[in-house]
Structure 1
């Protein structure tokens, strides 16, 4: 059974206001839809990483 956004947040001790809960539920549904597109994806193609280069951006 999938938990709702409200239940997930309350389990972590976060009690969102009702007006914020509506926004969070919409965003949660959007993220779930985006994740469903990855079910058949090659994980090597979906991997993203960030690299911090001290001193600014450099091109080598």
Structure 2
């Protein structure tokens, strides 16, 4: 049985406003769905990183 986002947050001592819980629950379920698609995939194929490079938003030709 999986925990709800509310239970996970409460276990960490975080209290979310009730109006935010529905949005958080939807996002949590989406992340869990994406994570489940990684079962059986080599970790090197699933390694994704997001980097912030200051000033890196320009296009180089």
| TM-score between the two structures when normalised by the length of structure 1 | 0.72
Long gaps (5+) in structure 2? 57-61
Regions of 4+ moved over 3 Å: 48-51
| TM-score between the two structures when normalised by the length of structure 2 | 0.71
Compare CA radii of gyration and give the structure with the larger one. Answer: 1
The C-alpha deviation readout for 1:5-33, integer Å capped at 9, x for no partner, is 10110111111011100000000000011
Long gaps (5+) in structure 1? none
Aligned length: 55
